[in-house]
Chains A and B, each alone.
Chain A
Amino acid sequence: MASVSVLAERSRGLLARPTATTGFWSWITTVDHKKIGILYGVTAMFFALVGGTEALLIRLQLAQPDQNLLSPSAYNELFTMHGITMVFFVVMPLSAAFFNYLIPLMIGARDVAFPRLNAFSYWAFLLGGIFIYSSWFLGGAPNGGWFGYAPNAVVDPTRGMTFYAIGLLIAGIASTVSAVNLAVTVINMRAPGMTLFRMPVFVWMGLVVQLLLAFSLPIITVGLVELLFDRRFGTHFFDPSAGGDPLLWQHLFWLFGHPEVYILILPAMGIVSEILPVFARKPLFGYQFVVFSGIAIGFIGFGVWAHHMFAVGLGPVANTAFGISTMIIAVPTGVKIFNWLGTLWNGDIRFTTPMLFSIGFIAMFVIGGLSGVTHAVVPSDYQQTDTYYIVAHFHYVLFGGAMFGLLGGLYYWWPKVFGRMLNERWGKVQFWTILVGFNLAFGPMHVLGLQGMPRRIQSYPESLGLTFWNLVSTIGAFIIALGVLVFLVNAVRSFRQPREMVADPWDARTLEWATSSPPPDHNFDEIPVVHGLDEVWHRKYAETEGGRVVPVPAGGSGESEHGDAHGIHLPGPSYYPFVASLGLPLAGYGLIFNWWLVAAGLVVTLTALYGWVLEPSAE
């Protein structure tokens, strides 16, 4: 024991514990889940602008037949980077932003279980993204599709797919660490009385998503390591001329890739399940069923991966099995939709911007869900696979679904996070612009796919008769861009108002609204004691004996937290998470350019971890 404390004394010298609470260094060294949540959110929105720009370029190229605005090589890079960006660097981190910011608040905790690890997750994610994007300047971006099918992804002579493999491995480390952190937080850090079945649905979906991540990321990690080895070390995992198998990659990729789809959509489903009750002024219909259907989706999501592979020739038995499992997963998805409808039924619906996006989510997601069921009809999927029909389908799920939910969440929690409202009128303009643009951009793709347009083609001949709907789709894409612009204006404008927000502007139901807006560093002056589902609502309203709902006379909605509590221990900021993450891209560049950099990266990360482990607690 004595020697340990001596070591701790001496280690004090490695790096002094940072002290900044505002300004640049406070953001670099923060371990506060709220600041990290904001960092995730801002980064994701930045990448959204980049990925959106890539999409616009793609749509420009396809606006007319036989165009050559983009060379095939540039086009292949753009559709690959668009997919990678939107999946790994927009929707996933935007969900992570909400999880990070909200889960501790919603379960009545002061922070996540491992605050420094949380910071490390963010920095590793950011550096993974920067690493992949740096490929544009270092010999060409990834160009083998976000799905990186081998052997094409191996034999490609540019460095792009090596950047892809390493960049996603770095981002994967970030996501794995964060998944474990948040799952432990939900399981261990709940306030007294916050039983599992009193947790908001958003927290439940958060838990399911973290478990999906924790079990599916190792699978893609295996695939990416093999891809990297094939590209850099002369192995032949996917090369049949040396006993490898190209299908091995597809199984590994989709066994991750399909749970990934639910990793992208379940957070938005959780957000919508929070917003609908607040603005229908009714509790969520069938809470347990919504929770259990989410868990069921998580489980079944691991058993449908080969529906991405119906055309590879797995044989009729496998195709039957995966066709049926794909149909089965529609059942719990339907249960969710029906329960949201039940929540709206007999409500007192207020059309705020978050509510509009949530209703839009249901409307668009139904379309994506139904087209998804048609993929389960295997022989019909033989036609639709790898066409724009699929592109239409997953954009209805990931944009009409996930992004609509996340945008609703931004409008809903913005006042909590920043203490300022987003303008409602601009919000509604944005909603309708995006709704119209979205349907113009992606609705016609159903027709294009059914009428013969394959995916990932740089141009199409005029003779295919696909010109009209391609032009419509391009126009739609630019209308979406207009909607995004409205959001940016709205966001900037919100910061020009004074920060004077009540704790609970929406008359909401869950714990995060019990504390001030924005919350103090320590979240709650006193850890709340929870008595039921929708705790904050029940503090404000009671049911009379006649079954009528009336406000509690004491006015429980008042601000109960003032942020002036003393003596609360909070984890101190630290340099180490940032420094430790710096070693990862360094080693990554080393794998591509110079082995010495690998050593340097390892030294940086291991030294930082050493300092991290022995870091004294703040005074």
Chain B
Amino acid sequence: MRRKTLKVPGLLALALVAAACAPNATQDSLQPAGPYAEKAYDLFVPVFWVAAAIFVVVEGALVLFVWKYRHRKGREGIPPQVHGNTRLEIAWTILPAIILAGVAVPTVTTIFDLAREPEGQVLNVDVLGHQWWWEFDYPEEGINTANELHIPTGRPVYLRLCAVGLGYGGQVAPSECQPGPPDGAVPAVVGDSVIHSFWVPELAGTQDVIPGRTNFMVLQADEPGVYTGQCKEFCGLSHTFMRFQVIAHTPEGFDAWVTGQQQPAAMPAAGTPAAAGAEIFSGQCIACHAIDGLQDANGEPVVGSNGGPNLTHFAAQECFAGCMLEINDDNLRRWLDDPPSVKAGSWMPDYNLSPEQIDQLVAYLNTLR
């Protein structure tokens, strides 16, 4: 009888632990997919079990004492008035200190390990946190993407993180990784310069992105795949919708991607709705966006700006608006109609485009592969 009563909660607890972790979680720090995330995970797991052991001992003692020394009917008198025991006090001061020292050693070595600049075949990427989207700039490759960070597997990616935006006096907040506008364009900085935090749990821990500071972190993926991440530090109205994806390619796949990204966009054939869309784009959207390869009617290049995402390969992406929305015609129409009504606080204003203009713009954007 007694054994049975012990068995039931025991089994229940086991079932709970097994069921606790959702198997379908897709942004999961418990499923590290690269050496840098593994370092954090390899520290968390043993510490978790140490904590679990202490939990069992302390809560076990609590339950045991509460049960064993409960008041029983008919018990007379008052228990002996024990005031303490110095030896015990010393023991339970020193013992936890020793356990913690044991935890501290691997903690400290890993802190310094993670702070080291990676060596060898490193890919350098600048990560720029905007309100509320991510810009990824590849200075050596000359590539600029929004909300999608493409990386090769098996290579450490060294990220330089900066916040972009205006200080509250309206001046541009200084930032080391400001890539600057396209040649010949007026720089356009949109949105407030606030703190963000870059987190893609399956590939690395968190690093804050702070106005006026430059932070660094390393991540690496072992296997090709899509790893999701999002801004972790509250950064204003649409903090929720500052998501991004890291897309890991095989090394060959990455090289192919780089080559593709380095190509300028082709102009749509004259007379098509897409060409009309390109014209609208050249008139209004270039105030904040740029498309490499965009030309006016005379074939002269139209220089865009860098306040919003560079859209040269927009249609090759999966998501936009801080990865709030999947790229498809419906979402694009909804967005172009009135961005702030879709994404609260969006710095892209409502341009009062007619349904026809919206269709033309969508047609043009769809050509940007």
Which residues of A are in contact with B by a Cβ distance under 8 Å? 71-73, 76, 144-145, 149, 151-152, 154-156, 230, 234, 236, 239-242, 244-247, 280-283, 285-289, 311-313, 315-316, 319-320, 323-324, 327-328, 330-331, 334-335, 337-339, 341-342, 344-351, 359, 362-363, 366-367, 370-371, 373-374, 376-387, 444, 447, 450-452, 454-459, 463-466, 468-469, 541, 543, 547-550
Inside 8 A of A342's CB, which chain B residues have their CB?
A: 82, 84-85, 88
Given A359-B66, A379-B39, A452-B201: A245 and B168 within 8 A (CB)? no
Given A313-B215, A327-B100, A378-B107: A345 and B69 within 8 A (CB)? yes
A337 to B93, CA, bound (A): 11
* Whole-angstrom distance between the Cβ of B272 and the nearest chain A Cβ: 35
Inside 8 A of B59's CB, which chain A residues have their CB?
A: 363, 366
A234 to B70, CA, bound (A): 64
B344 within 8 A of A: yes
Contact of A457 among B77, B173, B240 (CB under 8 A): B240
A286 to B84, CA, bound (A): 4
| Contact status A315-B84, CB under 8 Å | no
Inside 8 A of B166's CB, which chain A residues have their CB?
A: 241
Given A327-B100, A379-B205, 18 additional A-B pairs, CB 8 A: A72-B344, A151-B167, A151-B193, A152-B195, A239-B167, A241-B193, A286-B84, A289-B84, A311-B208, A312-B210, A330-B100, A348-B71, A348-B78, A363-B59, A367-B55, A370-B51, A454-B231, A464-B26
* Whole-angstrom distance between the Cβ of B38 and the nearest chain A Cβ: 11
Given A464-B26, A549-B77: A241 and B169 within 8 A (CB)? yes
| Contact status A344-B173, CB under 8 Å | no
* Whole-angstrom distance between the Cβ of A272 and the nearest chain B Cβ: 13
Q: Which residue of A lies closest to B113 (CB)?
A: A379
* Whole-angstrom distance between the Cβ of B46 and the nearest chain A Cβ: 10
Inside 8 A of B51's CB, which chain A residues have their CB?
A: 370-371, 373-374
* Whole-angstrom distance between the Cβ of A154 and the nearest chain B Cβ: 5
Inside 8 A of A346's CB, which chain B residues have their CB?
A: 69, 79-80, 82
Given A316-B111, A374-B48, A457-B240: A151 and B195 within 8 A (CB)? yes
| Contact status B69-A378, CB under 8 Å | no
Inside 8 A of B85's CB, which chain A residues have their CB?
A: 285-286, 342
Q: Which residue of A lies closest to B76 (CB)?
A: A348
Contact of B29 among A313, A452, A463 (CB under 8 A): A452
Q: Which residues in chain B, 16-53, are within 8 Å of chain A measured between CB atoms?
A: 20-30, 37, 39-41, 43-44, 47-48, 51
B338 within 8 A of A: no
Interface of A (DSSP majority class): helix
Which residues of B are in contact with A by a Cβ distance under 8 Å? 20-30, 37, 39-41, 43-44, 47-48, 51, 54-55, 58-59, 61-62, 65-66, 69-71, 75, 77-85, 88-89, 92-93, 96-97, 100, 103-104, 107-108, 110-112, 114-115, 166-169, 171-174, 192-195, 197, 199, 201, 204-208, 210-213, 215-216, 228, 230-241, 344-345
* Whole-angstrom distance between the Cβ of A360 and the nearest chain B Cβ: 10
* Whole-angstrom distance between the Cβ of A239 and the nearest chain B Cβ: 4
| Contact status A316-B112, CB under 8 Å | yes
* Whole-angstrom distance between the Cβ of B115 and the nearest chain A Cβ: 4
Q: Which residue of B lies closest to A288 (CB)?
A: B84
| Contact status B192-A152, CB under 8 Å | yes
A459 to B343, CA, bound (A): 12
Q: Which residue of A lies closest to B210 (CB)?
A: A246
A463 to B25, CA, bound (A): 8
Q: List 22 A-B contacts (CB under 8 A).
A: A149-B195, A236-B168, A241-B169, A241-B172, A246-B212, A280-B69, A285-B85, A334-B92, A334-B93, A337-B58, A341-B62, A366-B62, A370-B54, A374-B47, A385-B232, A450-B30, A455-B232, A463-B26, A464-B27, A465-B24, A466-B22, A469-B22
Inside 8 A of A328's CB, which chain B residues have their CB?
A: 97, 100
Contact of A71 among B44, B88, B235, B344 (CB under 8 A): B344
Given A151-B195, A285-B83, A549-B80: A454 and B168 within 8 A (CB)? no
| Contact status B168-A154, CB under 8 Å | yes
| Contact status B192-A341, CB under 8 Å | no
Inside 8 A of B228's CB, which chain A residues have their CB?
A: 452, 463-464
A156 to B24, CA, bound (A): 37
Q: Which residue of A lies closest to B207 (CB)?
A: A311
Inside 8 A of A454's CB, which chain B residues have their CB?
A: 199, 230-232
Inside 8 A of A380's CB, which chain B residues have their CB?
A: 40-41, 43-44, 47
* Whole-angstrom distance between the Cβ of A538 and the nearest chain B Cβ: 10
| Contact status B69-A152, CB under 8 Å | no
| Contact status A281-B79, CB under 8 Å | yes
**Which 3 pairs show the lowest CB-CB distances between chains A and B?**
A240-B212, A382-B205, A241-B167
